[in-house]
Amino acid sequence: MQEAQAKKDREAVLAATSAKDEAERNARKALEAFDEAQRKWKQGVQPATSPSESQMDALRKSRGFREGAFHVGVAGLTGTGKSSLINALMGVVTGTSEAVPTGNQYTKTVGRYIDARRNYPHIWYDVPGAGTLTAPSWNYFHDQGLFVFDAIMVVWDNRFTDVDIAVLENCVRLKIPTFIIRTKSDVHISNIEERMRDVVEADPTLTNKDRKSRSTVIPFSARAEYISETRQGVELSLHNANLPPMKVYLVSNKTITKIVQGDKNMRNVRVIDEFDLLNDIWALRRATSRGGMIPRMHNVRANTTPHI
């Protein structure tokens, strides 16, 4: 009788110990999960959430989606030239009466702009820039309802940031066609040219003839450096984020405007990816019209050969 009782006591102790160990393990896991969630929150990493169909339908209705139209969201950090890009894509000169207002003070809510050109059923959506009080970086993709668009343009200027990566991660997850666009390429190339000229002028070992000779190739060298460094930088950022290769379009909004307007005086305009961007947008739109819906692909093709 005593032995049986002792056995029960030992079993009870073992069960209690096991339960205590299990509770401690669960507590550690919960604490680790909390710490990880808090770390991601501080870093601006948003949880992977997917919108419901009812959310999608409600947002499409509120944003004036139309049957047969191609709805493109233009997103990115504030000050990257998103509004000016929309103007260029519509062939409208920024600052004119029909242009999309530009400047950080204007884009506080998602703007809707119908392309007035015949046979171009595009509706462009100017999304508030991430990193502002009205569009904080954390949860930018979900809060701005980017999941509803037929395609998304991720626009950047000086830096390709974690916010851009977060948008691309969601686009890949939801299979939304994406265009990565670096704007103001003409300005960036001009800045590189200026730096190169300063170096040549400051070199005391060069003769005037050498300086003149080197100066003639600076525009080509600056352009090649800009293209190479931009493509390599984006490729590395995508690789580090475990994202697939994607094409990056290097553009000047002024050049896009000239092309869309049919300007015939393009002889001295140095094009990089402007024609590619316009052609790829058109090709994607045509694919949607044939299929009756947006083909959910991971991304637009990666860069193949650089345009130099």
What is the residue extent of each domain of the chain?
Answer: 56-187+215-291
From CA 254, how far away is CA 304, in angstroms rounded?
Answer: 25
Phi, psi dihedral angles at 70 (to 5 degrees): -110, 110
Compute the C-alpha angle 221/224/227, nearest 5°: 150
pLDDT at residue 51, rounded to an integer = 75
pTM, 2 dp: 0.76
Spans of the chain, pLDDT less than 50: 37-38, 41-42, 44, 291-299, 305-308
Type of residue numbered 169: E
pLDDT at residue 26, rounded to an integer = 66
From CA 2, how far away is CA 81, in angstroms rounded?
Answer: 85
Q: What is the per-residue burial (b if ≥16 Cβ within 10 Å, else e) of 7-26? A: eeeeeeeeeeeeeeeeeeee
Length of the chain equals 308
Type of residue numbered 55: Q
The proportion of the chain whose per-residue pLDDT surpasses 70, expressed as a percent, equals: 74
Compute the C-alpha angle 247/64/256, nearest 5°: 35
pLDDT at residue 263, rounded to an integer = 84
> Looking only at Cα atoms, what is the longest distance across the chain?
111
pLDDT at residue 23, rounded to an integer = 66
From CA 74, how far away is CA 181, in angstroms rounded?
Answer: 10
Cα–Cα nearest to 268, from 219, 222, 303, 224: 219
Superfamily for domain range 56-187+215-291: P-loop containing nucleotide triphosphate hydrolases (3.40.50.300)
From CA 97, how far away is CA 247, in angstroms rounded?
Answer: 34
From CA 274, how far away is CA 278, in angstroms rounded?
Answer: 6
Q: Find out whether 73 and 125 touch, Cβ atoms under 8 Å.
A: yes
Q: Torsion-angle region of residue 153: left (phi > 0), alpha (psi -120 to 50) or beta?
A: beta
Burial level of 308, CB count in 10 A (0-12/13-18/19+)? exposed
